[in-house]
Amino acid sequence: MSQHSFEIGEEDSQAFDAMHRMNRMYRWQRHIYDASRRYYLLGRDRMIANLRPAVGANVLEIGCGTGRNLVQAARRYPQARFFGVDVSTEMLASAMTAIARAGLAGRIALAQADATSADPRIIFSIPAFDQVIISYSLSMIPEWRPVLGEAARLLKPRGRLHIIDFGGLERLPAMRAALLRWLALFGVAPRDDLEHELSALAVASGADLTFERPFRGYAQYAVLTSPSRTTTP
């Protein structure tokens, strides 16, 4: 499976700015990202365990970063194909290295794309995806709400959208203020109304939604299952 290129044109100023913002932030951090983030990006392995894709399924990760989730999922599910997009060329460089090192270049395809404006169906020539993953990315996307609807529209009927991200720490009040200040240094903000937005999307589209706040509210984990027939929200 070959890698795809998707160049963001300078005329798309919002996408171009996002690419440079993320590149500046992660140009050096990407080299230690997986080692440092393993202790506080909680719930990712549970999300991967819940994928259970069918034979021949196509699984997309929006905001794939260093490719850590894609490598873990591809190893666990050799019967499926995996795709990843990220706005940062620096992160994608790390992802391509990790995928090649794992010997998975034939089963994972990557492309540079802005989640708010690009269509992965066109990039990868995939009409629809069986599953879509968004892992600790929404909290870094300023215009995150439209991404939810776009991600849901990428799904096949009865396809599933998995989202794991920071929560409101409602049951961890002692550490909430300190964590929020620390996250803000990296341009990260928990999406406190994520459940509300997903519930509205589920009602409008006829999708099923499960929503949890694991680790005493440290994280939010949602699974949106598209209806058996696609509808326009």
pLDDT tens digit string along 118-160?
899 999 999 999 999 999 999 989 899 999 999 999 999 999 9
For domain 13-225, give the fold.
Answer: Rossmann fold (3.40.50)
DSSP at 168: -
As separate numbers, helices (DSSP H) first and strands (DSSP E) second, the chain gives 9, 7
Interacting residues of 61 by C-beta distance below 8 A, sequence separation 6+? 69, 70, 82, 83, 84, 85, 132, 133, 134, 135
pTM value is: 0.84
Domain locations along the chain = 13-225
Question: pLDDT-based confidence at 79, cuts 50/70/90?
Answer: very high
Interacting residues of 218 by C-beta distance below 8 A, sequence separation 6+? 42, 166, 167, 169, 172
Of 171, 174, 168, whose CA–CA distance to 216 is shortest? 171
Higher pLDDT, 18 or 179: 179
